Amino acid sequence: MKYLIETWGCQMNDHDSEKLAGLLAKEGFEAAAGVGDADVVILNTCSIREKAVNKVYSELGRLREEKLRRPLLVGVTGCLAQQEKEGLFRRAPQIDFVMGTMAIQQLPRLVEEARAGRTRVIDTGEYPDNHLFPPETALRHSTAKALVTIIEGCNHACTYCVVPTTRGPERHRPWKDVVAEVRDLVEMGYREVELLGQNVNSYMGGCTFAQLLDRVAEVDGLEWIRFTTSHPMNFTRELARTLVTNPKVAPFLHLPVQSGSDAVLRRMRREYTIDQYLERLGYLEAGRDRLCLSTDFIVGFPGETEADFEATMALLERVRYDASFSFIYSPRPGTPALRLQDDLPAQEKSDRLARLQARQVELTLASNRRMVGRTVPARVESRGAVEGGHWLARTGEWKNVHLAAGEGRRLPFGELVNVRITDAGPHFLKAEIA
């Protein structure tokens, strides 16, 4: 039997897919080259925005046609499965099994039941210890960086967000387990890890998140630590100090703000004002200058006025983020924001998003150009030259690098090399081996 896992969404979903692959491999399944080669296709889904959900249903339509041609099991896992539950079968009867976010370790049982002919197999139950998944079971992708989940769920209650529903309340892995996993990953050859959580900096697995970073940094052979995603209300002075002083913590911070308007933030129930957000950025002090800072924006949230949007643009100018991820508000089932009046025309939302993104491109280009002439370490992320003749690499600041290595030269995948930045665009840097 061969399996194929298709993944949408965040890094947490990427790592969940590694866990799913490992569980199937333990049962004797082999990875398929594509849909046409698979006996089981699993869609590991995201539901944080409507666009992601639509992509899943489009893929389910294609799989329905595939099932008409030959025997094929189709399963849906992840956040959409946890959110829609039995409703998935009604909308897409070609689905054979549905598994929620907390039931990952039940996958072999669900597949076996579906193979035995049982219809509409489902488990979206709560398994409070799912965050204690045995890390050695995960079948790691061949990447330069390893993903490590340290916390599952979220205790915040943002009015637009489905995460508390789809991922449940926070569950924290013991810090000794996290350190042991990182140590094992280094022995496997990884030199960089990314610590994951829906609200990663609220970690309380026997120590603070800042203390966890310091303890992970003590692992011999580890070079860089990254983490995502942080909530401003859990961004402490202690964490800021660790971020700017520990040389193994990569100089990159993603701190979502969502809006520059206090009125919008109240409707979002984000629990902070813009002054409080800026205060937390101030914890970085002079260390801010050596960090790449990114954020998230939601444009067109219900009730957002032109003045509210201008406040967001003003914040963008004040902070001058090195990068940002911005989206039009997407209504999600079961969220409190659905009760808010959303009367802003779609075209106006699109226009505002375009204005914000255009200005961010300018700021990102300026940030990248400031690196021209510098020599910095970058991790090699491709196993050879890609189209265009360059290699792919990434700096500690999370900037993409198109690296000229020279005719016939081979670079060590996953290793750090010193590169000299020669040019910059808004989406990547150009560099040569220093």
pLDDT tens-digit series, residues 6-63: 999 999 999 999 999 999 999 999 999 999 999 999 999 999 999 999 999 999 999 9
* 154 annotated as a binding-site residue: yes
CA distance from start to end of the chain: 48
- Six token digits for residue 205: 């697995």
Q: What pLDDT shows up at residue 128?
A: 85
* 158 annotated as a binding-site residue: yes
Q: Tell me what the pLDDT averaged over the chain comes to.
A: 97
* 292 annotated as a binding-site residue: no
Sheet holding 73-78, edge to edge: 30-31, 2-7, 40-45, 73-78, 97-99, 121-123
Neighbours of 418 (CB within 10 A): 11
Q: pTM higher than 0.85, yes or no?
A: yes
Q: Which amino acid is at 375?
A: T
Q: Are 54 and 330 in contact (CB under 8 A)?
A: no
pLDDT-derived band at 311 (thresholds 50, 70, 90) equals very high
* 79 annotated as a binding-site residue: yes
Q: What is the mean pLDDT of residues 315-329?
A: 98
Q: What is the mean pLDDT of residues 361-370?
A: 98
Task: Look at strands 73-78 and 323-328 and give their pairing.
Answer: unpaired
Q: Are 25 and 139 in contact (CB under 8 A)?
A: yes
Q: Is the pLDDT of residue 244 over 90?
A: yes
pLDDT-derived band at 133 (thresholds 50, 70, 90) equals very high
Neighbours of 116 (CB within 10 A): 8
Strand blocks (E) in 54-127: 73-78, 97-99, 121-123
- Six token digits for residue 412: 């060590």
- Six token digits for residue 275: 């002054």
Q: Is the pLDDT of residue 407 over 90?
A: no
* 46 annotated as a binding-site residue: yes
Q: Are 226 and 195 in contact (CB under 8 A)?
A: yes
pLDDT-derived band at 262 (thresholds 50, 70, 90) equals very high
DSSP secondary-structure letter at 334? T
Which domains, from first to last, does the chain contain? 2-123 (3.40.50.12160), 131-369 (3.80.30.20), 375-433 (2.40.50.140)
